[in-house]
A and B are shown apart, each in its own frame.
Chain A
Amino acid sequence: MKPNIFNRFWLMLIILALAAIACKGGNTPVEPTTPENPVNNPPPTESGAGLSQTERAHLISATVQIYGLFNENGQLTPRYTGSGTILSPYGMILTNAHVASPASQGEPDMEPDALGIAIVESEDKPPVPSYLAEVRAVDGFLDLAVIQITSTVDGSNVDPASLNFPYVELGDSNLTHVGDHVSIFGFPGIGGDTITFTEGSVSGFTSENPIGDRAWIKTDATIAGGNSGGLGADDNARIIGVPTQASSGAGGNVTDCRQIQDTNNDGQVDQNDSCIPIGGFINALRPIELAKPLIQAAQSGKQYVSQYTQSGVVTEAGSGNEAASNFAWLEAAYSPEGCDLGNVVSSFPSNTLCIGASFDYSGMTPGELVREQWYLNGSPVSEYSYAWEWETNGSFGTYLPNNGDPLPDGEYYLEMHAGSSDQVIGTSGKVTVGSGGGGTTPPPSSQGDTVTVYGVITDADTGRPISGAYVFVLSPGITYDQWGRENYTDKYIEASLKTDSNGGYSITGIPRNTQFTIVFAADGYNDKFGDNLEASSNDPDQLELNVAMNK
């Protein structure tokens, strides 16, 4: 809310982190290398083999920590962290796809609402969250992504051209050889942890279908879990790879994990429970060569399309005269494995979990790249690429699910792309989900469907802000007294948060034309509440609600 918001917060964390370090006692992670032949190999004056201290400092300042931020009760809350490398002075960052966009790896539930970027200001201090970034290119198969800094963390846009970040130049991972020295930079821990440097040698390469022989660079350098997406540099201080968790199928080493929690809630801790990582290490790098197409796409502003898919291998360029026509909309019964297509329909009711489409196609080549692009109310909502593995001519059915959640109401259509040039081969008619009235979309409302309630909580006697006061929003129809009669159960709490040190709070996502009860509670004050409040369609999107608490 204010520009200097971080200073005190992070200062505290820094102090705590320093205190923790001081208590632990200093252990130096870097050991000087002992030259085998002091005569022919004069001892390097600095540790870190081929990298000079200046080079290391440069690489450190170009390594960023990435936060997956989630909107919780109207607050952007980090739920996971990873690392990334700045590749351009304008704030282009290379990281793992599972850090930037877990949805691309089949984990849409983990898709963050925003990506926070923390910049290293000093190597002995935790990085400072400073920017928000957006995904520019992502490849879920390679687990690589390029993201671009777009705004400062308080939401004001930044002009990339005005930025001047330290950045790392691209190396050539094809020129990397077994035994080459490799330096790893990243942020292995959460929260206040500082940048960590480890080093080692290239111990080998691993092939992976369909990437080829140099799918992974194996190393003996110790890479802790949170380093995902970080920087693997050669002795010329160029990036040669991205520390990446190799999937077990690819023969990589899985991080150490144990069944220590009853994750499936069957009342037993056994082999059926999910394995919980308890540390352990990554020891593979994704070669930078594989990231270069993403970087180029991001730089040129083009749409990046992965050549690798989960469902096939792209081997053909395509005939160039593919076509799709006679689109029809089909019922689609949702199941987690996929939707079962049914009868032709002309529209879908609200709360539809999956919509299906069919079309006739011609001119297809098995092995060429096909991409489905779905639109909602004219904006792209979903895309899916795969290698064509069917006939040249025929009819085809596909569907659009929403992870088991109802699809938002609106007007949908499907655009089919094919071939190496990603050309449009056919576009469906539009279909409505929910009340659209025969294919016409409702007039766009200038107001959002929800409002944000914000304000400052003060002491009525002193007029001073109260920090750490609770704000609760209760479910529709529940009054404060009812809540109290049910022992303040949290099942009625739609949102809750505590005021910041200026007494401020902000709750987003309160639906309009729906009653809600808001409760304010603080130590040493009478509870304050408003029963059954309601924001009407005429209220502004931002409602200021300042509250004075009485003793």
Chain B
Amino acid sequence: MTELKAVHERKHVWRNEFLLIISLIVFVGVVYALDGALKPVFTTSTLLLTGVFLALVPAAIWLVFFYMQDRLEPEPKGYVLGVFALGALFAAAVGVPLVENVFRVSHWIYANTTATILGGILVVGFTQEFLKYAAVRYSIYHSNEFDEATDGVIYATAAGLGYATVLNIQFVVSNGGVDLGTGVIRMAVVALAQAAFSGITGYFLGRAKFESEQIWWMPLGITLAAVFNGTFNWLRGLVSQTSVSLSGAAANPWPGLALAAIVAFATTGVVLWLVRRNLSVQAGK
């Protein structure tokens, strides 16, 4: 069996990534439209439950696509789910408490633009990207099931979506329930962004395992992902800003979603192109 065959078979991995992005946007559109049309009335607890349910949807969509299409050479389902759970566990046990309680990020990160960017990269970015990396690196990485470079992207995406799911549940719970229409946009943004940055880490992880990379290779990957992460959050805040006039300053969450979709498309596209080029270089040897 050659790598070329694997490349052919793993095409649907990328289809999954793109389908995830598109279905998330559809999902947001549907929930937003339903919320606007039906204007459902919730009690505090049903609003909370609905919010938590919605927070699980992005990861569920991805997993469903993954299981439906990964038939030719299936990744062991348990491993993917396990990495997903580990990403979620790291987020809940380490990531969120570290960022929120130890660093008290929300208290100082909005002081000025520099603080938003530096805090976003050094604290939020590195914490999240390291934990997602660790969820792959210290579990499946050394197993035989991690048998090619593309697997890095699959498992890292699983960890990223696990992390995103916890962030979204925390978002719902700490706000005591959210407006479904606006809330679901933010959930999609978080899921898309986390999946995209995981793609970067996953690409670096895959190459680290199967090619003898330099010692700076993996740190570079994490740093790159962290920089993307922090910069993205700053940009998202920037494009979401609305100016105050006497007629109001209503929220406009759509530019944030558009940005997240563009970043996810672009990152996935670049990572896909890099993996393919790398494999064809190898195959040509």
Contacts and interface: CB of A to CB of B under 8 A. Distances in A.
A and B co-occur in one complex: yes
Nearest to B244: A530
A543 interface: yes
B5 interface: no
Given A460-B240, A461-B253, A530-B244, A523 B106 contact: yes
Interface in A441-458: 453, 455, 458
B181 interface: yes
B191 to A, nearest CB: 14
Nearest to A525: B110
B175 A545 contact: no
Interface in A523-548: 523-530, 533-535, 539, 543-548
A165 B164 CA distance: 60
Given A524-B110, A528-B244, A530-B243, A461 B171 contact: yes
Interface in B241-270: 241-253
B183 A463 contact: yes
Contacts of A546: 248-250
A518 interface: yes
Given A526-B110, A527-B110, A464 B176 contact: yes
B8 interface: no
Nearest to A517: B244
Given A459-B175, A548-B250, A526 B245 contact: no
Contacts of A529: 244
A547 B243 CA distance: 9
A467 to B, nearest CB: 11
How many B residues are at the interface, by size bracket? 20 to 34
B38 to A, nearest CB: 16
B145 interface: no
Nearest to A484: B112
B179 interface: yes
Nearest to A518: B244
Nearest to A460: B251
B173 to A, nearest CB: 11
A551 interface: yes
A463 B244 contact: no
Contacts of B178: 461-464
Contacts of A463: 178-179, 181-183, 251
A547 B110 contact: no
A462 B178 CA distance: 5
Given A524-B107, A526-B237, A460 B253 contact: yes
From B107, B176, B240, residue with most partner A Cβ within 10 Å? B240
A523 B109 CA distance: 10
Contacts of A534: 246
A513 interface: no
B132 interface: no
Contacts of B253: 460-461
Contacts of A527: 110
B248 A544 contact: yes
A421 interface: no
A455 B107 CA distance: 25
A547 B244 contact: yes
Contacts of A453: 246
A296 interface: no
Nearest to B180: A463
From B106, B110, B245, residue with most partner A Cβ within 10 Å? B110
A543 B252 CA distance: 21
From A464, A518, A535, A550, residue with most partner B Cβ within 10 Å? A550
B245 A533 contact: yes
Interface in B91-114: 106-107, 110
A525 B252 CA distance: 15
Contact of B175 (A462, A526, A547, A548): A462
A349 to B, nearest CB: 33
Given A461-B171, A524-B110, A550 B186 contact: no
Nearest to B183: A462
Contact of A535 (B237, B246, B249): B246
B84 to A, nearest CB: 24
Given A462-B182, A463-B179, A545 B251 contact: no
A550 B240 contact: yes
A533 B183 CA distance: 30
Nearest to B179: A463
Contacts of B240: 460, 550
B113 to A, nearest CB: 10
A551 to B, nearest CB: 6
B182 A460 contact: yes
B162 to A, nearest CB: 21
Nearest to B242: A548
A462 B55 CA distance: 13
B179 to A, nearest CB: 3
Interface string A39-80: 000000000000000000000000000000000000000000
A462 B186 contact: yes
B251 A548 contact: yes
From B107, B181, B248, residue with most partner A Cβ within 10 Å? B248
A403 B246 CA distance: 36
B249 A530 contact: yes
A462 B179 CA distance: 5
A453 to B, nearest CB: 8
A171 to B, nearest CB: 54
A529 B183 CA distance: 24
Interface in A426-477: 453, 455, 458-464
Nearest to B189: A461
A-B pairs with lowest CB-CB distance, top 4: A463-B179, A530-B244, A548-B251, A524-B106
Interface of B: 106-107, 110, 116, 171, 175-179, 181-183, 185-186, 237, 240-253
25 contacts: A458-B251, A459-B175, A460-B253, A461-B171, A461-B185, A462-B183, A462-B186, A463-B178, A464-B177, A525-B110, A527-B110, A528-B249, A529-B244, A530-B249, A534-B246, A545-B247, A545-B248, A546-B248, A546-B250, A547-B244, A548-B242, A548-B250, A548-B251, A550-B242, A551-B110
